[in-house]
Amino acid sequence: MGASTDSDATETERGPGRPREPAVDRRILDAALRLMAQSGYVRMTMDQVAALADVTKATIYRRYPSKIQLALAAIASYCDQAPPVYTGDTRSDLIAQMENFRHGLDRPHGMAMLGTVLAEEHATPELLARFREYLVAPRRTAIRVLLERACNRAELHPNADLELAENMLVGSYYAHYLAGYPFPADWATRVVDAVLAGIKA
């Protein structure tokens, strides 16, 4: 993700004055990440983050305007991991993508973090927007790409509602989690097969 005031972080375009210590950036995000994994967003305290990162609160707030933004940045920084490589086969690529998606939420407090963003929705609307932009959208796009490729190959029904298919794929996880059911090992496979059954050519 990125800093607060500055533009895109990669383009340093230095002004005068002492530059920010890059090590501090990492220490803050790591501390936030660790605390959220341990205790969740609600129990995490800015003072705790500051102490663990060996930094003062002011230093944090110079980078992120609020606790929730820090949390979001921390998560985003963590989620920048390599997506699964494509084999070319629609079904197995989708399954791999869904496994990836599931692992992103399976770690401790994964859904709790999502809940926090939702809870904060009305207080900080742009937060949900960033959440969508950095976390939701990339994954959905990856799935969409696979579905459209399959559509172009005529593997799917020409009138298939791809957006709806996406929702069913991704949403199955949420519903399953909320219902409290345990996740079977072949969960991704079953979901993908079920959805494909409804839209295949």
Partner DNA sequence: TATTAATCGAGACGGTACGTCCGGTCTTCCA
Partner DNA sequence: TGGAAGACCGGACGTACCGTCTCGATTAATA
Q: Which residues sit at the interface with DNA, rule CB under 7 A?
A: 14-21, 24, 43-47, 54-59, 61-63, 65-68
CA distance 199 to 158: 9
Cβ(61)–Cβ(4) below 8 Å: no
CA distance 64 to 55: 14
Find the shortest distance in angstroms from Cβ 27 to DNA.
8
* Minimum CB distance to a copy of itself smaller for 16 or for 88: 16
Find the shortest distance in angstroms from Cβ 147 to DNA.
39
Cβ(94)–Cβ(146) below 8 Å: yes
* Minimum CB distance to a copy of itself smaller for 88 or for 125: 125
Binding partner selected for residue 101 from a copy of itself, DNA, none, CB under the kind-specific 5 to 8 Å limit: none
Binding partner selected for residue 172 from a copy of itself, DNA, none, CB under the kind-specific 5 to 8 Å limit: a copy of itself
Binding partner selected for residue 122 from DNA, a copy of itself, none, CB under the kind-specific 5 to 8 Å limit: a copy of itself
Identify any residues that bridge with 130 across adjacent strands, giving them in sequence order.
none
CA distance 170 to 143: 9
Binding partner selected for residue 166 from DNA, a copy of itself, none, CB under the kind-specific 5 to 8 Å limit: a copy of itself
Cβ(40)–Cβ(114) below 8 Å: no
Q: Is residue 188 within a helix (H) or strand (E), and if so which, with residue range?
A: helix 187-199
Cβ(121)–Cβ(164) below 8 Å: no
- What is the 8-class DSSP label of residue 132? I
Find the shortest distance in angstroms from Cβ 9 to DNA.
13
CA distance 90 to 199: 13
Binding partner selected for residue 15 from a copy of itself, DNA, none, CB under the kind-specific 5 to 8 Å limit: DNA
Find the shortest distance in angstroms from Cβ 196 to DNA.
44
CA distance 114 to 129: 13
* Minimum CB distance to a copy of itself smaller for 25 or for 55: 55
**Residue numbers at the binding site for a copy of itself (CB under 8 A):** 39-43, 108-109, 111-123, 128-129, 132, 136-137, 140, 161, 163-176, 178-181, 190-191, 194-195, 197-199
Find the shortest distance in angstroms from Cβ 106 to a copy of itself.
14
